[in-house]
Amino acid sequence: MKFLVFVALVAVSAGETAYPEAYPAVYPEAHPAVYSEASPAVYSEASPAVYPEANPAVYEKSTYDYAPQPYSFSYAVKDEASYNDYSHSESRDGNVVTGSYSVALPDGRTQVVTYKADSYGYVADVKYIGEAKYPDYSPVAYTPSYETPVYTAENLEHTY
């Protein structure tokens, strides 16, 4: 054990120091800088930049001759459990699309939208069938969910 401690001490003392060497105390003699006058800059005019000729791309509206694709579809959903009641039907003939859809609203009415879309735009006609019904508001009387606690104080006699 003593031998290991001795070897460790020798290794530590033989190792390099963790600090860099100090700077020398004596500096070499400084010589004055040599000054020479600069020559004037030579000016020459720059040549003009050459740009390639601009050829803008020409847009041509593509014309496609599609065959008429008429279609017609309809669907309806009436689910009593989730209160879903709606339907949709649509048909297309050429560039004219006509259709309608209906939705049962929560207030008891049915909203029916009939629409037509053609080259003049989209035109929709909205109608409501039925009268809105709202439930009467009657606040619930407050009743506590537990009994009122009973506290009985001790009868203390005061002595002064």
Note the pLDDT tens digit of each residue in 112-144. Answer: 999 999 999 999 999 999 999 988 888 888 888
Report how far apart the first and last C-alpha atoms of the chain are (Å, whole number): 82
Note the pLDDT tens digit of each residue in 87-113. Answer: 999 999 988 999 999 999 989 899 999
Burial bucket for residue 97 (CB in 10 Å: 0-12, 13-18, 19+): middle
Q: What is the pTM of this model?
A: 0.46
**Cα–Cα nearest to 105, from 117, 114, 97, 113:** 113
Residue carrying the six token digits 């509206």: 61
> Sheet holding 71-79: strands in order across?
71-79, 84-93, 96-104, 110-118, 121-129
Note the pLDDT tens digit of each residue in 38-88. Answer: 888 888 888 898 888 888 788 888 887 777 789 999 999 999 888 889 999
